[in-house]
Amino acid sequence: MSSPLNYREFAPWPSLAGSLDCFWASSISAASRAPLVHRVLPDGCIDLLFDFTAAGDRRATVIGTMTRALAVTTSGLVDLLGVRFRPGGLSGLIRFNAAELTDTRVDLGNFLGPQALELWHRLGEAAPADRIPLLQESLAARGRDTLQVDPFVRHCVSQIEAARGGLRVCEHAESTGLSTRQVERKFARHIGVGPKAFARIVRFKAVEQAAAAEGAKDWARLAADLGFADQSHLAREFRAFSGLTLTEFTS
């Protein structure tokens, strides 16, 4: 049976692509009342979430970097619009310490003041097809057309992603000219976790993508390819981040 949840992702404007991973929309009709459980997995990103069925401080929120899976149960009407920022990308939009948001959800009004609620109202009153263009215009205007990621963070993130989580902290420091401690502070400030934890998340994502694409496979070889000590190490890391065993995830 197909899921009643309609989830779609949309690419950002080229001028925003350096900081934004994607826009996404999720909806479910009011006619579907059966509870739906959706597991959200860590991806190293921070999201802005606009919930057009919520009230109070749940309407426009910032979802901090996740270090563990979150099982979200919904029923009835769902009408969500999100912006997924590249690691470190939100720093070009608002002043905040990402480490204070890790594994939490905070009212966007804490950072944008009344503008957060005004934006929520503008988006909610627009037709669904017009929401993303409207939000892109708002982000581009606030970010002065191109949101900027800290160049050292961008450099290290690119290296970690290219290596699928295989780089050590000392290697980040050597490639930037910063001390190990400086690199750790920058990651905490802009991403919410240190470089070692971020690399673990990136490596977990590589396992998740392989499992989702191919199902059961040669886990021992994948463990070796990604730098795990062995297959058991891979399995433990996967469960730590997803809350599921590999068998549960692929079945």
Q: What is the domain-level CATH number for residue 220?
A: 1.10.10.60
Residues 131 and 193 in one domain: no
The total number of structural domains that make up the chain: 2
Mean pLDDT on 201-216 = 88
Mean pLDDT on 78-98 = 93
Higher pLDDT, 215 or 41: 41
Measuring CA to CA, which residue among 150, 83, 158 is closest to residue 123?
83
Q: What is the pLDDT of residue 55?
A: 82
Q: What is the pLDDT of residue 31?
A: 58
> Quick one: CA dihedral 91, 93, 97, 100, positive or negative?
negative
Measuring CA to CA, which residue among 47, 67, 21 is closest to residue 202?
67
Residues 156 and 118 in one domain: no
Is residue 106 over pLDDT 50?
yes
Separation of alpha carbons 247 and 155, rounded Å: 35
pLDDT class of 1 with cuts at 50, 70, 90: very low
Structure confidence by residue, pLDDT tens digits, 153-183? 998 899 999 999 987 766 766 777 788 888 8
Structure tokens at 201: 């998340």
Residues 62 and 113 in one domain: yes
Say what the pTM is. 0.91
Identify the domain containing residue 132 by its residue range.
6-142
Residues 164 and 94 in one domain: no
Last residue of a domain, one of 142, 167, 188: 142
